[in-house]
Structures are given as C-alpha cells and as structure tokens.
Amino acid sequence: MSEHYFSAQPSGPLTVRPLTVTLADRTVTVSTAGGVFSPDAVDKGTAVLLRHAPEPPATGRFLDLGCGWGPMALTLALRSPEADVVAVDVNARALELVRRNATALGLDRILAAEPDEVPAEQTYDLIWSNPPIRVGKAVLHDLLTTWLPRLAPGGTALLVVQKNLGADSLQRWITDSLAEQHGDGTFTVDRATTDKGFRLLRVVRAR
C-alpha cells in the first residue's frame, strides 16, 4: 500500500459518503471518505475509549489528537457544548471532514487544525487520543512528547492502545519519558481499564 491514513494529502479521489453512528448517546449521520482512518465505522479502539471515558468537564479546552473524521472531537463537543475542542491531524482530508461534520451537527466550538497551526503554548484540560501506533516508534514518541506536556495542571489524557501492539511497553515509556522531561511527580501514568484487547492509558498532570 503506497498511501496511509496518516498521509498529509491523500491522493485518491475525495468521495464523501454518509455514515450513521452513535456518538454521545445520539444517533447522528456524519460524512466520511476514503484516505482517512476507519472511514466505515467508529473503530474498536475509539469505541473502547468512548465507552469508558468519564464525562468530560462542562467547560475548558479539549484536544482530540489524531482526530480522523472526528468521532472523539464530535463526542466531546456534543457532551460539553460550552467547551472549546481542538481536533488535530496531519491528514488534510480528515480535517475537512471534521469541519463538515461539526457544521452539520451545529457544533461551532470545534477547531480542526494541522499540528503546526496550533499554538505551542496552548494547554488542554483533557486530551483524548487513539494514537497512530503504526507510524513507528520514533514518530509516535515524538508525537506524545510534544502533546502530553501540553496538559494543563490537573488535566487528564486518555490514550487507547491495542495490547498486542505494545500498550504495556508504551505505558512504561511514557512514564519514564515524562519523568525525565518534567521530574518525578509531575505526571502520573496508569492503566484505566482493559477492554476487547485494548488498554486505556491515563496520564494526569499534577495541579
């Protein structure tokens, strides 16, 4: 396969199609297309996170890291309509779909942006992510060391990772890396739950 969902500019034709899904306990119709991650359904990992994640705060700034067509960002905005939601992806087609879906659902506080379009000093009260494990360790580690430190004091990140793709070793690496970068006690990393072969990892920044 010459192209992946993490390509910045998918080369295949843009053929938008409707998809009916359940997000935030609502049945909604969204737009998806080829060239993005899991265009035909809410993928299993994302479904695990959405099933087990606590209710988000009513307000604040939230991040969907690696948003695809937007199931996490849309859920956050539906759950917390007064919050600001930032949906980040390198895939321009995914970002366009997030914008279409936000507009269609009347969600006007979602910003879909490429990583370098987001101010580096911006912090987040909540981060949800199904990180792109298949990009390789170096790229994945760079992604996480860039964005996890942007948690605001008291903020929480939830990362869903398939167990057989190295969830436990990734948990250990995140723990060690954040401690090395920021000192012991700044971040706490643990496993929130295991479901259907996925680990839900939780990273909390001290207040």
Residue 159, in any domain of the structure: yes
CB 167 within 8 A of CB 146: no
Tell whether the model's pLDDT for residue 105 goes beyond 70. Answer: yes
> What pLDDT score was predicted for residue 60?
99
Summarised one tens digit per residue, pLDDT across range 171-202 is 999 999 999 999 989 999 999 999 999 999 99
Residue 50, in any domain of the structure: yes
Residue 90, in any domain of the structure: yes
Question: Which of 82-86, 132-136, 182-186 is the least confident region?
Answer: 132-136
Tell whether the model's pLDDT for residue 2 goes beyond 90. Answer: no
* Strand order across the 187-195 sheet: 110-113, 84-88, 61-65, 124-129, 151-162, 198-205, 187-195
User: What is the mean pLDDT of the segment spanning 33-38?
Assistant: 94
Residue 1, in any domain of the structure: no
The answer to whether the predicted template modeling score (pTM) of the entire model surpasses 0.85 is yes
Summarised one tens digit per residue, pLDDT across range 52-66 is 999 999 999 999 999
Residue 5, in any domain of the structure: no
Q: How many domains does the chain have?
A: 1
> What pLDDT score was predicted for residue 103?
98
| Listed residue (121, 141, 74, 60) closest to 102, CA to CA | 74
Residue 9, in any domain of the structure: no
Residue 161, in any domain of the structure: yes
Tell whether the model's pLDDT for residue 6 goes beyond 60. Answer: no
- Longest Cα–Cα distance of the chain, Å, equals 48
Residue 25, in any domain of the structure: yes
Distance spanning both ends of the chain, measured CA to CA = 45
Q: What is the span of the domain harbouring residue 145?
A: 17-205
Tell whether the model's pLDDT for residue 3 goes beyond 50. Answer: no
Tell whether the model's pLDDT for residue 107 goes beyond 60. Answer: yes
Q: For the purposes of burial, counting CB atoms within 10 Å of the CB of 154, is it exposed (0-12), middle (13-18) or buried (19 or more)?
A: exposed
Residue 90: which CATH number? 3.40.50.150
Band of residue 1 on the pLDDT scale cut at 50, 70, 90: very low
